[in-house]
Amino acid sequence: MPRPTLPAMGIDTHIADYDWNAALAALAWQVEMGVTEVMVEAAVDRYALPEKQEPVVPKPGAKPKPEAVQDLPKADPVQVAKAAAAPCSDLASLRAALEAFDHCELKKGARNLVFADGNPAAPLMIIGEAPGRDEDLEGRPFVGTSGQLLDKMLAAIGHGRRAEDARKAAYITNVMPWRPPGNRDPSEDEIAMMRPFLERHIALVKPRVIIAMGNTSCMALFGKSSVLRLRGTWETAQGIPVMPMAHPGHLLRNPAAKREAWADLLDVQARMRQS
């Protein structure tokens, strides 16, 4: 292809002087010479110092390029949880606040919110760790094999989630309302963002005695996680006596630990009679 002798190669001439074939030939010549892109219509001296370069003025009517959008600071899930839980005046509004809380990733993989079971007027409150598969499917805490053992344990001291007499009833919930994937332990961050809801839950129920079952509940209530060292010794949360106990799941895997659990239950029964 012959090289075109056109203003496109350096001579300033109005574009109307071109015909289509000449313009195509000029473009082909530029490609042959190694031109790969055109940044602006006006020439820019690339050797000039930055402070001496003239700013490129956009063509009239051209839209300015949007500036890079800076990432907005993310909301603190714990503060969001506190703001959501504080105004709840009853259990129904607390449940609604939990259902609307979208800052916990566990919610995305869970089937159901597991809120509570039993009689909220009961003097005895059981706080477990997190739902398992059966609880996630049914939407109630402690309904699997661990729940069946828990019901037997409570019945042994004269309490049950289905007792008609509120004085002999029990109220059961978990720290985490959603099942962790693979039944893994909740992380410290997950426990922290659920703590405001748990604290509000306790304040609304007003139990006389709490049983904290498992490491997660002990961490949420008084910042200690070794339940096997804590068990048998009374703690306090929100002015309420708390007995740390091994989780029923641990008792199923370690039957020898049931002897200590029975001693803890008798201690709870005695405390209930005194209060």
pLDDT at 101: 98
CATH code assigned at 171: 3.40.470.10
Tokens coding 241: 């006596």
Total tally of structural domains belonging to the chain: 1
pLDDT at 110: 96
Name the residue with higher pLDDT: 35 or 85.
85
Domain-embedded: residue 26: no
Domain-embedded: residue 27: no
pLDDT at 108 over 60: yes
Domain-embedded: residue 29: no
pLDDT at 60: 67
Q: What is the pLDDT confidence band of residue 36, given thresholds at 50, 70 and 90?
A: confident
pLDDT at 32: 75
Domain-embedded: residue 240: yes
Mean pLDDT across the stretch 187-202? 98
Mean pLDDT across the stretch 51-67? 61
pLDDT at 23: 74
Name the residue with higher pLDDT: 62 or 87.
87
Domain-embedded: residue 9: no
Average pLDDT, the chain: 87
Mean pLDDT across the stretch 43-47? 67
| Segments forming the whole domain that contains residue 96 | 77-274
Q: What is the pLDDT confidence band of residue 26, given thresholds at 50, 70 and 90?
A: confident
From CA 244, how far away is CA 264, in angstroms rounded?
8
Q: What is the pLDDT confidence band of residue 130, given thresholds at 50, 70 and 90?
A: very high
Lowest mean pLDDT among 2-16, 58-72, 94-108, 180-194: 2-16
Domain-embedded: residue 221: yes
The model's pLDDT over 157-185, given as tens digits with 9 standing for 90+, comes to 999 999 999 999 999 999 999 999 999 99
Mean pLDDT across the stretch 99-126? 97
CA neighbor of 273 nearest in space, from 236, 248, 241: 241
The model's pLDDT over 238-272, given as tens digits with 9 standing for 90+, comes to 999 999 999 999 999 999 999 999 999 999 999 99
Domain-embedded: residue 32: no
Give the range with max mean pLDDT: 24-33, 43-52, 197-206.
Answer: 197-206
Domain-embedded: residue 166: yes
From CA 211, how far away is CA 235, in angstroms rounded?
10
Name the residue with higher pLDDT: 8 or 38.
38
